[in-house]
Structure 1
Amino acid sequence: MPLGVLQHYTIEPSDLEATKTFYCDVLGLEDGDRPPLGFPGYWLYSGGVPTVHLLGKRQPRDGIVVRGTRKKFKDTGRFDHIAFAATDIDGVRKRLQEKNVQFREQTIPRTGGQQIFLYDPDGVGVELNFPPP
């Protein structure tokens, strides 16, 4: 069973609106079409693809563990971060500074690619990968 490309990742944020604002206003994702799923949330698009799903408060259903109710795990385990391909490192750096978002940068040894690392409002790590200059 070969896998295809990553379709999306889902976050159950502590503050739905603040997290939507972060991903849209800081990282530039777009709030897009979402089916009427019966609970609040957003599908945030990157390049026309619904990449980040945000879940609002939900009622428990069979087979679904809802944050704040019965949970199977204490946290998301070893999940560390999600990465996006990015362009215009100078523009991104300026945008982050204007929005007072803390970040760190590094250059990838040997390839010269550049990276920016930051965290969303709930501490989910975000990596932005820029091609070598």
Structure 2
Amino acid sequence: MIRLIDHVNIATEKLAETRDFFVEVLGLEEGPRPDFGGFEGYWLYAGGRPIVHLQKARGPAGPSNVSALNHAAFEVGDLDAMAARLDAHGVTYKMMQVPGAPVRQMFLEDPNGVMVELNSPRPI
């Protein structure tokens, strides 16, 4: 049985730009990645785990709004601090409270148009 999501993988033509976005803007850390024999990519870590894998796309890659897989969601400890970080980098996002749940969330796009959801518990 599935217990949790291990990682997400993003195929991109903007490999370095996408790495920089997830590291510099969202705060992940670049870490060790196995040598896949010339297959370019990065593994990005949170809490010691590689949760975002990036790979060089073999051809054009489209944004989330034209994909069956709509978005990737991550939990953050302080959504207000993340909002300040996004503001400092000029990243547009939408903040909302989940109706009837103690969760606030924000939605933004990475450099490829991949939708990213960030969630943080908050008492109602």
State the TM-score bracket (shorter-chain normalisation).
0.7 to 0.9
Contact 2:93 2:108 in 1 (8 A): yes
Q: Sequence identity, in percent? A: 42
Question: Residue 96 of structure 1 aligns to a residue in which SS?
Answer: helix
1:119 to 91, 109, 119: 109
Question: Residue 12 of structure 2 aligns to a residue in which SS?
Answer: coil
User: What 5-or-longer segments of structure 2 have no aligned partner?
Assistant: none
Aligned mates of 1:99, 1:116 — CA distance in 2: 15
Report the RMSD for the aligned CA atoms in angstroms. 1.8
**Counterpart residue number, 1:107:** 97
Q: Deviations over 1:15-53 (max 9, x none)?
A: 100000000111111100111111221000111111111
Structure with the greater alpha carbon radius of gyration: 1
Greater strand percent: which structure? 2
Provide the TM-score with structure 2 as the length reference.
Answer: 0.87
Question: Residue 106 of structure 1 aligns to a residue in which SS?
Answer: strand
**Counterpart residue number, 1:23:** 22
Aligned mates of 1:54, 1:12 — CA distance in 2: 6
Q: Which has the higher contact order (CA 8 A, sep 6+)?
A: 2
Which structure 1 residue ranges, 4+ long, deviate > 6 Å from structure 2? Answer: none
Q: Deviations over 1:74-95 (max 9, x none)?
A: x974111000011112211110
Provide the TM-score with structure 1 as the length reference.
Answer: 0.82
**Counterpart residue number, 2:119:** 129
**Counterpart residue number, 1:11:** 10
Change over 3 Å in CA distance of 1:76–1:42 after alignment to 2? farther
Contact 2:73 2:118 in 1 (8 A): yes
Give the counterpart letter for 1:113 in structure 2: V
